[in-house]
Amino acid sequence: MSVIRNNPALMAEMNRISEVAGYLWGKGWAERNGGNISVNITDLIGDEGQRMSSLTRAQPLGRSLQSLAGHIFYVTGTGKRMRDVAQDPFSHGSLIRLNACGGAYEIIAEKPIIPSSELASHLCIHNCLIERNLDNKVVLHTHPTDLIALTHCNDFLDSEALTWKLWSMIPECRMIVPKGVGVVPYETPGTIALAEATLKQLVNHDVVLWEKHGILAVGEDIIDCFDAIDTLSKSAQIYLNAKQAGFEPQGMTKKQMDELVAAFDLPIPD
Ligand code: 2HA
Ligand code: ZN
């Protein structure tokens, strides 16, 4: 598959996917086949991607994602382990190309690895974000223990309450996740209902926490997506560590937060 292996920009992106997959496993956020990644690589592969023959028959998506017509994605494989994606993304995921109406996909490289059970949700999200004119390339889903733990508490099933609690643990959280985190009430994994509820939260946030399941981040850059989740997880750990030590963490004061926003000219959420 020299079209891929001889494309330095594409291979660099594949290395970044491997790097992040390794972080997810190392963080303990990716038990067994937990989590999945999709990255829009259409621009990186260029016209060559359109000429590649398919390895499988077209698989209908059950809906027409018109803004994704002809787009090409790397998607982690169903049942595949993140720790294996980290070692060899081409053996634990595949490149897929959507057809001319965005209603079906074919696997074009390198092996016929069936995409993640969350493929339909990932593609709905990619499609919708393109329609919102966002240059979003990445959808990253993983299972961060500390953040999921917080969703078992009713107080934190409110996006605003959770965002302020996490922001107030360390200044970096307010800076690195300026749109905060949206919360989606429990839905069955892999369903379109979960994708639709997520899309509602993605109007105001780039990171969405799924009750009793995991987290999903979108962005232009996979490392930035990881960093946002990692920073939220750090805040959750500080909160939970303080609680375990027997006290309620004070959190940054309103004055400290206002000074931070002014000092770094941070956006103020609606
Ligand atoms: O890929 O994490 O949500 C396994 C999952 C499903
Ligand atoms: Zn999951």
Residue 18: pLDDT above 80?
A: yes
Sign of CA pseudo-dihedral 253, 148, 238, 36:
negative
pLDDT number for residue 1: 62
Query: Taking residues 247-264, what's their average pLDDT?
Result: 97
- Give residue-wise pLDDT tens across range 191-236: 999 999 999 999 999 999 999 999 999 999 999 999 999 999 999 9
Same domain, yes or no: 165 and 105: no
- The C-alpha atoms of residue 250 and residue 269 are separated, in whole angstroms, by 22
Same domain, yes or no: 163 and 47: no
Instruction: Identify the domain containing residue 12 by its residue range.
Output: 1-138
pLDDT number for residue 2: 84
Ligand 1 atom closest to Cα of residue 35 = 2
Same domain, yes or no: 167 and 81: no
Same domain, yes or no: 112 and 65: yes
Residue 168: pLDDT above 90?
A: yes
Q: Is 149 exposed, middle or buried (0-12, 13-18, 19+ CB in 10 A)?
A: middle
Beta strands in 33-177 (DSSP E): 36-40, 59-60, 72-76, 93-98, 104-109, 138-142
| Token pair of 133 as six digits | 């004119």
Side-chain-side CA neighbours of residue 12 (13 Å): 6
CATH number for the domain including 174? 3.40.225.10
Q: What share of the chain is helix, strand, coil (3-state, %, to 5)?
A: 45, 15, 40
Ligand 1 atom closest to Cα of residue 142 = 2
Closest CA to 216 of 203, 204, 229, 227: 229
Ligand 1 binding pocket (C-beta < 6 A) is 33-36, 116-118, 141, 189
Same domain, yes or no: 109 and 61: yes
Same domain, yes or no: 64 and 194: no
Same domain, yes or no: 159 and 266: yes
Catalytic residues: 118
DSSP code at position 158: S
> What is the biggest distance separating any 2 CA atoms in the chain, rounded to whole angstroms?
62
Look at residues 104, 119, 138 and tell me which one is the last residue of a structural domain.
138
For atom 4 of ligand 1, the residue with the nearest CA is: 34
Same domain, yes or no: 171 and 248: yes
Query: Taking residues 172-180, what's their average pLDDT?
Result: 98
Cβ–Cβ under 8 Å, residues 249 and 242:
yes
Look at residues 78, 110, 138 and tell me which one is the last residue of a structural domain.
138
Ligand 1 atom closest to Cα of residue 189 = 3
Same domain, yes or no: 133 and 6: yes
Average pLDDT for the chain: 97
Whole-number Å distance, alpha carbon 162 to ligand 1 midpoint, is 23
Look at residues 138, 161, 179 and tell me which one is the last residue of a structural domain.
138
Same domain, yes or no: 220 and 131: no
- Give residue-wise pLDDT tens across range 43-70: 999 999 999 999 999 999 999 999 999 9
Q: Could you count the other beta carbons within 10 Å of the beta carbon of residue 186? A: 13
Same domain, yes or no: 221 and 163: yes
Best residue among 29, 33, 82 to mutate for probing ligand 1's pocket (most ligand atoms within 8 Å of CB) is 33
* Residue 177 binned pLDDT confidence (cut-offs 50, 70, 90): very high
Same domain, yes or no: 148 and 263: yes
What is the total count of domains within the chain?
2
Whole-number Å distance, alpha carbon 117 to ligand 1 midpoint, is 7
| Token pair of 94 as six digits | 């595949």
Question: What single letter denotes the amino acid at residue 195?
Answer: A
